[in-house]
Amino acid sequence: MPPARSLAQQLASKQREISVAEFFERNRQILGFDNPQRALLTTVKEAVDNALDACEEAQVLPDIAVEIAKEGTDRLKVTVTDNGPGILKKEISNVFGRLLYGSRFHANRQSRGQQGIGISAAVLYAGLTTARPARITSKVEEEEAAHVVELLLDTQKNLPRIVAEDLELWDRPHGTRVELVLKAKYVRGRQSPFEYLRGTAIVNPHAQLVLTEPDGTRVTYERASKDIPPLPKEALPHPHGLELGELAYHLKASRQPTLEQTLTKEFFGVSLRAARELLGTADVARTSPPGGLHGEELERLLAALHAAPLIPPTAESLSPIGPLLIKRGLRNVLGDARPDFFAPPVSRPPRVRGGCPFLVEVGLVYGGALPPDQPVQLLRFANRVPLLFQQGACGITAAVEQVDWRRYGLDQRGGAGLPVGPCLILVHVASTKVPFTSEAKEALAADPEIEKELILAIQAAARHLKTHLSRRARRDYATEKFAIILKILPRLAEKTSQLVDKPIPDLTPVITKIMDVVHVDTTSSTDAVGISLKTEITNYTPRPRVLEVFLEMPAEQFGAVRFSDVPDGIDLELGRAWWTLPRLEPNGRATRSVSFPPKTDVEANDLSWFIAGVDEGHLLGAEPLPGDWDVRLPRAVIEAAQAGREDLPSGEEAEVDYDAAEKSAHVEEEE
């Protein structure tokens, strides 16, 4: 061993500060630049995410063009142009030429970019691999010309190095263009700019995106909605989930004179009453100056804040996609697959984690041309950005895998892992602070609170799937049973009649008695007049029925719906309409139908039909009234149902009684 003196000093002499740019240059895989294909995707993604954020801040409908062109053997030139508000000249160099610099890190609201790393990392990578400067053109509305800046990122200093500056006329009121030449590889397909833009279009239907590929192919994702999502508001920090150090920081930064005022004005969800109560619990004086708190006082205050029943966070700092646009997005992307079933999208209420609100949305689609023998397709999104890499390392995947899908009708080996089936699941996590596993923002870290919400949302969507599959199975069963009975009974009757030399009797009442069900059949049709949904209720039981028919549909569609028969009641808030069928004789049939004008955002499976007045065992093809609806049924319906239940035919009575059946047979066609 060498003498320790020289060694400890020797080691000390090697201690150095590491520039953050140097760090990321050496560890560029962390930023998503570890191979030419991924580097291209990351570059496109960072530029487009910035453009979308800027347009959202300016409340402009985004028009974004991405052009990828060949530049020598292993290089590509990426140009991303937007119609955002533009960047002031003095900020251009910092925004593009410096890591950890930006406007969105400190803003406590949902945005795509949050770290101030992305686009500068692309500039760093371009410089590293081709030594070519980034060229940025930006015009703000109040200036006549656009500023053009060419720059490199100096990794030793983490500062921009400007290579050239110029002014240029640009025939648009405002916008920004980034041009980068980098070592990159273009591949269409999985994990490509093509797939990224497709995913982006799904969750940003207000954006118009145009991709020009190296071979000149132009792909356009048309704007599907002209509603600009409202800019999320900056939120105050919510005390639930704050760590001690964060609380101390916020208190020190407070401009309020007292602790009580700090709590009510600089934190979210703390009413005056709550502040007083919890300061009492913590045994801290209400009038203390906020910055003076430390040690055990601070710890007691934090414990009281965590324990207090505060107002939950609101969604105003978040920008969820919303059920309507989730469905529209899915319909866009699944144009060719023609799925049987779009589950009503699930949007969970906002929750808080580490002082930041978040919420989870889930869409689910089943059937059609989706592959039945493959694991389900999972589309992951965070803050309206598709996540294309690291599916295996993502908290979203972990949540999907933890659900026991066998309970919801999908195959799943051992009740864990990705289920198998013709199914696509879209999951969106929105937060003011998304916990990514790395700076490349490709996967969510495992977080117990987000996981809990994810599982709840996924299960809710899965329950819809289960209902759909059960309904389909029941309808299949009923149809099959009908088919058999209608085929066999007449033959049996014919043969028997021949044997005993009597005429063939009318079998309708017999069929009725064998089936002993109220049968509901719902069909839908789409034509130039719009979408029509018809439900047909047949009383195949041997006694008259008084039934109540309920229709449930998205409340926002009540403006568009046309009823074939005026409902006996409507609940606009809950989205329900109902009819009473006063007396449906054995073998009698009634229909109710609704229609919507073309292009209404409604699917057949958005509407549910429920029947009251017959118990579940004698109802086929529709659901009985859900137990939690707590609806007051007309007395006649209740009585008729009870009567029906009391004298159900026993096994013996069910024996075919031709005469009796013939007597009670009486077809009543309503309408």
CB of 211 to its own copies, least distance (A): 25
CB of 245 to its own copies, least distance (A): 3
Question: Which CB sits closer to its own copies, 215 or 243?
Answer: 243
The residues pairing with 220 across neighbouring beta strands, listed in sequence order, are 210
Residue 2 φ then ψ, to 5°: -65, 160
CB of 21 to its own copies, least distance (A): 10
Alpha-carbon separation of residue 121 from 32, 35, 141, 161, 302 (angstroms): 9, 14, 28, 14, 38
**Judged by CB under 8 A, which of 41, 64, 65, 87 binds its own copies?**
87
**Judged by CB under 8 A, which of 70, 88, 483, 654 binds its own copies?**
88
**Judged by CB under 8 A, which of 62, 97, 102, 621 binds its own copies?**
102
Three-state SS at 341: strand
Q: What is the DSSP letter of 504?
A: P
| 85 sits near its own copies (criterion: CB under 8 A) | yes
Question: Which CB sits closer to its own copies, 439 or 668?
Answer: 439
Q: Which helix (H) or strand (E) holds 146?
A: strand 146-154
Choices 89-97, 510-518, 547-555, 649-657; region in contact with its own copies by CB under 8 A: 89-97
Question: Which CB sits closer to its own copies, 57 or 585?
Answer: 57
| 281 sits near its own copies (criterion: CB under 8 A) | no
- For its own copies, the binding residues in 161-180 under the rule CB under 8 A are 173-174
| 591 sits near its own copies (criterion: CB under 8 A) | no
Structure token digits, residue 645: 């239940």
| 390 sits near its own copies (criterion: CB under 8 A) | yes
Gap between the Cα atoms of 329 and 333, Å rounded:
6
CB of 184 to its own copies, least distance (A): 13
Q: 394 and 387 in contact (C-beta within 8 Å)? A: yes
CB of 7 to its own copies, least distance (A): 5
Question: Which CB sits closer to its own copies, 392 or 598?
Answer: 392
**Judged by CB under 8 A, which of 98, 147, 198, 545 binds its own copies?**
98
Question: Which CB sits closer to its own copies, 129 or 319?
Answer: 129
Question: Which CB sits closer to its own copies, 94 or 377?
Answer: 94
- For its own copies, the binding residues in 214-253 under the rule CB under 8 A are 243-246, 248-249
CB of 119 to its own copies, least distance (A): 13
Helix axes 118-130, 36-58, angle to 10 degrees: 140
- For its own copies, the binding residues in 247-266 under the rule CB under 8 A are 248-249
**Judged by CB under 8 A, which of 67, 69, 71, 107 binds its own copies?**
107
Gap between the Cα atoms of 419 and 412, Å rounded:
4
CB of 369 to its own copies, least distance (A): 23
User: Where do runs of H (alpha helix) occur along 501-555?
Assistant: 508-515
Gap between the Cα atoms of 565 and 529, Å rounded:
18
**Judged by CB under 8 A, which of 95, 197, 263, 430 binds its own copies?**
95
In single-letter form, the type of residue at position 184 comes to: A
Q: 447 and 241 in contact (C-beta within 8 Å)? A: no
**Judged by CB under 8 A, which of 30, 210, 324, 570 binds its own copies?**
30
Question: Which CB sits closer to its own copies, 223 or 543?
Answer: 223
- For its own copies, the binding residues in 290-319 under the rule CB under 8 A are 294-295, 298-299
Of 337, 387, 326, the residue nearest 362 (C-alpha): 326
**Judged by CB under 8 A, which of 142, 144, 628, 655 binds its own copies?**
142
Choices 80-88, 452-460, 487-495, 552-560; region in contact with its own copies by CB under 8 A: 80-88
Of 30, 43, 53, the residue nearest 107 (C-alpha): 53
The structure tokens 């789409």 sit at: 526
Gap between the Cα atoms of 190 and 194, Å rounded:
8
User: Where do runs of H (alpha helix) occur along 204-290?
Assistant: 244-253, 259-266, 272-282
Question: Which CB sits closer to its own copies, 131 or 169?
Answer: 131
Question: Which CB sits closer to its own copies, 389 or 609?
Answer: 389
Q: 621 and 478 in contact (C-beta within 8 Å)? A: yes
CB of 57 to its own copies, least distance (A): 6
- For its own copies, the binding residues in 635-664 under the rule CB under 8 A are none
**Judged by CB under 8 A, which of 67, 69, 71, 94 binds its own copies?**
94
Q: 374 and 472 in contact (C-beta within 8 Å)? A: no
What DSSP string runs through 586-612? TT-EEEEEEEE-TT-S--GGG-EEEEE
Residue 135 φ then ψ, to 5°: -115, 120
- For its own copies, the binding residues in 409-468 under the rule CB under 8 A are 433, 435-439, 443, 445-448
Radius of gyration from C-alpha coordinates of the chain = 33
Of 496, 509, 397, the residue nearest 445 (C-alpha): 397
**Residue 225: Cβ within 10 Å count:** 15
Residues near its own copies (CB under 8 A), total: 85
CB of 203 to its own copies, least distance (A): 23
Gap between the Cα atoms of 129 and 28, Å rounded:
12
CB of 528 to its own copies, least distance (A): 38
- For its own copies, the binding residues in 177-216 under the rule CB under 8 A are 183
Q: Which helix (H) or strand (E) holds 54?
A: helix 36-58
Binding mask 41-70 for its own copies (x = CB under 8 A): -------------x--xxxx----------
